[in-house]
Structure 1
């Protein structure tokens, strides 16, 4: 069963409360998403680790309910 945008967003908000989150359903099937996440939790963290943090927030649902997730992660720019 696919994951809804709302469910995906809730997992991300739960893990990254301060985040600016944009989600796009790439195929219209609830199975292939692109997510852009800007959070202070990513400050000073290497990109690979940032993505691992996002996968951890999905609580094992990546590869199950969620087939594909293209990620863009970053920390807020200084002064914003």
Structure 2
């Protein structure tokens, strides 16, 4: 065996020892099945989409409320100015 092969074998052994998952079932870190992980990801994605939609609905409601307040204030002041001013 040449020196390069010996160095490679030592490095490979060191690399194998650092892997978190090994063939040794006694020391292997348990990992959930892929199906379970995919289902969890799908639930989290659905929750994120719902939160995003709820945020959008809240923003629209707030915008409508503020627009109504602005129009009421302008009507009370008798102002016929639009929101855009000419320069």
**Which TM-score band (shorter chain)?**
under 0.3
Structure whose residues are more often strand by fraction? 1
Structure number with bigger Rg? 2
Query: Taking structure 2 as the reference length, what is the TM-score of the superposition?
Result: 0.19
Q: With CA pairs under 8 Å and 6+ residues apart, which has the higher RCO, 1 or 2?
A: 1
Structure whose residues are more often helix by fraction? 2
